[in-house]
Amino acid sequence: MFVRGGAALAVLLVAAGGVGAWIYQSLDGNIHSADIDDKLGGDRPANMSPGSKNILVVGSDSRAGDNGKYGKGLTTMQSDTLMVMHVAANRKWATVVSLPRDSWVGIPACDRGNGTKSTPHHFKINEAFAIGGTSGEVAEAAACTIRTVEKNTGLRIDHFMSIDFQGFKGMVNALDGIEVCPETAIHDKKAHLDMEAGCQTVKDEKALGYVRTRYSVGDGSDLGRIGRQQEFMEALAAKAQKKLTSPTALYGFLDSATKSLTTDKDLAGITPLTGLASELKGIPSDRLAFLTVPNYGREADVPTDKANVVWQYPQAADLFTSLAADKEVDKKALEARSKNPVYASTIRVRVLNGTGKPGEAAKAAEALRTAGYTVVGTGNAPGGTGKTSVAFPQGLDQQAKALASRLPKVRATQDPAAAPGVVTLTVGENFDGVR
């Protein structure tokens, strides 16, 4: 959930408040460390902005131990939320991007931790955590998730942190609950929640149920839940700043959080977390942006899929390209540009093979169909080419940009000789698949 991830960020801010050495010593051993350095492979995005940091925050939905009652029948580790927090190199701004768990993306081959390896395929983004966590190891689950996020965003992930159900409840309880104001009554068996409408303070199972509920509120989407969780997180952070003034309250909050916190080895400790918190503490609130990656319902491309979302291009690519280059994102401008999505299914693509190797156009065409594009034909390009290119006739610039933004290092070019009504993709030697 977004809130559990957001609560992990709140821990950083609270930890920077100057707690005593006795708290450091007591809590330092609570944090679990996962060594992922040798599990990510060498084919990773380059670090385009030295000094900045990209931190992957995972709301872990593990069904082990006390968490077992929240999903009977599930045998794998689950990630209920994914966020990427980009901290600028100058430490004057930060952007947190939520990646809906129902995002339909390409998942690369991953080690399952049991001696087997998965095959590349498309599915919901949260499956990556389950694939890597087949053996129950957080390090493997995190590694597969990082590889998936890097593949689909082009961002190089520097750190990760994960926090689970029990840690979330403990933090809320240490604050004596959080006030929420549902407009309608909520009755959700899956989230173990029964609430009447109106403002009320929630804690324990009710707090957890409130941030987990999905199908019984609003449109039942994961996007709607993310919005509620963002509001809850803001309320939690605000109350933490006001209430955690006594050592007892502070210790209870941090004890719950750190016991349920797993990070990469470089962040595994109160000292490194406090160092990061000190950097975050100086960022003005108006320069801390919370975004959701631009997206639309996959049903627009695949009518039978009413459950998932796909990222909206070129807006999603522009967002991640900006963060990779350490450029601050204008949230309002991004949202304005995302109001009228160009659906992949409305883009008619002709695929030409410019490599001279048989079958390359057919493989690229299949990748495009999987991504929802309408492929109208394949063929061979005249002469060989070392570069992949996208060409379009007048009037199809938006469609061409949407396609090109999903192809790493490819730009769309208008060509008066291009076939009318069709965007032409020429596959070159550097073709690296479709994001």
Whole-number pLDDT of residue 7: 47
Name the DSSP class of 181.
Answer: -
- Binned at pLDDT 50, 70 and 90, residue 367 comes out as very high
* Residue 284 pLDDT exceeds 50: yes
User: Facing residues of 161 across strands?
Assistant: 57, 263
Q: Which amino acid is located at 46 in the chain?
A: A
Alpha carbons 257 and 162: distance in angstroms, whole number = 10
Cross-strand partners of 163: 59, 261
Can you tell me the distance from the alpha carbon of 70 to that of 283, in angstroms, rounded to the nearest whole number?
A: 36
Determine the length of the chain. Answer: 435
Contacts of 227 (CB under 8 A, 6+ apart): none
Mind listing the pLDDT tens digit for each residue in 228-248?
777 787 788 778 777 777 677
- Cα 281 from Cα 79, distance rounded (Å): 27
pLDDT tens track for 77-130: 677 778 999 999 999 999 999 999 899 999 999 999 888 999 999 999 999 999
pLDDT band at residue 184, thresholds of 50, 70 and 90?
confident
Cβ atoms of 351 and 423 closer than 8 Å: no
Going by C-alpha positions, the residue among 113, 114, 149 that lies closest to residue 128 is 149
Strand pairing class (53-60; 159-163): parallel
3-class DSSP assignment, residue 318 = helix
Does pLDDT of 136 surpass 90? no
Residue 346 has pLDDT above 90, yes or no: yes
Cβ pair 193, 210 in contact under 8 A: yes
Give the integer Cα–Cα distance in Å for 269 and 121: 36
Looking at this protein, which amino acid is placed at residue 269?
G
Q: How far apart are CA 405 and CA 27, in angstroms?
A: 45
Closest to 349 measured CA to CA, from 417, 410, 396, 313: 396
State the pLDDT at residue 219: 60
DSSP symbols for 136-194: S-HHHHHHHHHHHHHHHH-PPP-EEEEE-HHHHHHHHHHTT-EEE--SS-EEETTTTEE
- Which SS3 state, helix, strand or coil, does residue 319 take? helix
Burial class (CB in 10 A: 0-12, 13-18, 19+), 89: exposed
Q: Using CA atoms, how far apart are residues 168 and 211, in angstroms rounded to an integer? A: 10
Encode pLDDT of 289-319 as tens digits.
889 999 999 999 999 999 999 999 999 999 9
Residue 205 region by backbone torsions, left for phi larger than 0, else alpha for psi between -120 and 50, else beta: alpha
Of the candidates 264, 263, 281, which has an alpha carbon nearest to the alpha carbon of residue 10?
A: 281
Contacts of 117 (CB under 8 A, 6+ apart): 109, 110, 111
Residue 20 has pLDDT above 60, yes or no: no
Which DSSP helix (H) or strand (E) runs through 160?
A: strand 159-163
pTM of the model: 0.86
Greater confidence, 357 or 167? 357
Q: Has residue 74 got a pLDDT over 50?
A: no
- Indicate the SS3 state at residue 337: helix
Residue 106: per-residue pLDDT: 92
- Residue 100 backbone phi and psi in degrees, to 5: -50, 140
pLDDT category of residue 330 using cuts at 50, 70 and 90? very high
Is 112:140 a contact under the CB 8 Å cutoff? yes
